[in-house]
Amino acid sequence: MSVTPSPVGTPELVRFSFPIKDACLPAGDQLMPGAPRAYRQGTHEGIDFYEVDNCTAIGLGTEVLAAKDGEVVRVDSHYEELTQEDVDEMDARIAAQGETDEESLDRYRGRQVWIDHGAGVITRYAHLSRFADGLRVGMSVKRGEVIGYVGNSGTPESLIDPNAEMHLHFEIRVGDSYLGQGLTPEEVRALYESAFAQ
């Protein structure tokens, strides 16, 4: 298992701003990278920003902000909502494999935007309800610029209750891994505290 580098001395891994205004790291480790996800036999690869445990109100339509300057490299403008058949098929495949495959994991992230910050660092913004007007692949965005809005796309709960599980799933990717991969919860928290330090 690869372990991501420390942000200390790495310009690309520091000075991120939170992707939701006035947010903070969740107090619970279950919402942080590296937490187990039993329902899909996998591991959480990002931070979940929910209404609770994140220092600010978060709900459907809350603005999602670029965490750092960069270039938009993915906008799911043709996203198709999950169906119960999709979930059943993915669950069966995951159960047979004993782990979550990348295709299923990507579908469970829902409607996404990805921003490339250079040096192999990409941020991902998932479960969006919609995008900022005019957002497109290839455009440059500035830290703090609105890129989308909180939703629950890609969550199995969205099929049962369209108003449930409103949150932003946010990832910092370094090469082929997520920031904090292979680290303890304490090490992950310290790493992200450093990444978001201003």
Q: Is the pLDDT of residue 2 over 70?
A: no
pLDDT in tens, 128-157: 999 999 999 999 999 999 999 999 999 988
The two tokens of residue 106 are 């990507």
Q: Under 8 Å CB-to-CB from 88, ≥6 apart: which residues? A: none
Average pLDDT over residues 10-18: 84
pLDDT in tens, 69-97: 999 999 999 999 999 999 999 989 988 98
Average pLDDT over residues 178-183: 90
- Walk me through the domains of the chain, giving residue ranges and CATH numbers: 11-196 (2.70.70.10)
Report how far residue 18's alpha carbon sits from residue 144's, in angstroms, rounded to the nearest whole number.
Answer: 8
pLDDT in tens, 33-62: 987 665 555 688 999 999 888 899 999 999
> What pLDDT score was predicted for residue 10?
60
Residue % of the chain over a pLDDT of 90: 67
> What pLDDT score was predicted for residue 9?
44
Q: Is the pLDDT of residue 4 over 60?
A: no
> What pLDDT score was predicted for residue 7?
47
> What pLDDT score was predicted for residue 1?
46
pLDDT in tens, 106-121: 999 999 999 999 999 9
The two tokens of residue 145 are 């610029």
